[in-house]
Amino acid sequence: MQERLQKIIAAAGIASRRKAEELIRQGLVSVNGSIVTELGAKADATKDHIRVAGKPVRRGIKPLYILLNKPAGCISTVNDPQGRPTVISLLRARGVTQRVYPVGRLDYASSGLILLTNDGALANFLMSKASAVPRTYHIKLAGRPEADKLKKLESGIALDGRRTAPAVIRPLGELSQRDKPWFEIRLVEGRYHQVRRMFERIGLRVLKLKRVRIAFLDDRGLGPGQFRHLTAAEVSRLRKWSPQT
């Protein structure tokens, strides 16, 4: 069946339709060896050989978007040389056979939300600095932090020679009154072990860390190890995300 090229490219999970149109205009799309630059061009994904930036468009690949509540003791990678359980092996055990990849990571000891998809364009966007997608964590600390030190973390501190972006930190009600209190922290960047390293800089160890929210997606109804597929409306909202959203 003949379909517009941008629809075929989007359906293959390569890019959104708008981005696919840009790729066509740039002369990066070919059909049966011929470059196509007209947006009205059509092709048959079951018969024609379509390439984007030289790479073939895989036929029949349905974009997949999964929100997983990663348990602690699970690696946020496709595979692990040490044979530890991964987010992919967890999905496989629950019947997901299509190939997906994690968008960002949570360390082995941490738990909480992680997105997995085969939509490379969306994954790259969400992990880019420009998207400024907020990620919210609940953390248990080894001791009580001083207010002025929390303010420093919120304003930004130097990590790896770069200042961290402003963060929002607040106590979690009665849990924050304990000797080992709980706090919530919201970041718009995801550097290596960032939350743990930030609190180490003020002399406190993070005992537990759970990501409870990514942008507007939260962990309600998802127990450890459970997952759900994103709705079309949620995917569309993520594609259109901006820091002002």
Task: Tell me, rounded to whole angstroms, the distance of Cα 39 from its chain centroid.
Answer: 30
Closest CA to 63 of 103, 125, 19, 119: 119
Residue 67 · residue 227 · CB < 8 Å? yes
Residue 5 · residue 29 · CB < 8 Å? yes
Provide φ and ψ at 147, rounded to 5°: -60, -40
Catalytic annotation present for 119: no
Cα angle 167-170-175, degrees, rounded to a multiple of 5? 140
What would the two tokens of residue 130 be? 């420009």
**Separation CA 42–CA 150 (nearest Å):** 56
**Separation CA 189–CA 95 (nearest Å):** 32
**Separation CA 47–CA 59 (nearest Å):** 9
Please, where are the H alpha helices in the chain?
5-11, 17-25, 87-93, 120-127, 147-155, 194-200, 232-239
CA distance from start to end of the chain:
38
Catalytic entry in 48, 80, 107, 218:
107
- Known catalytic residues are 107
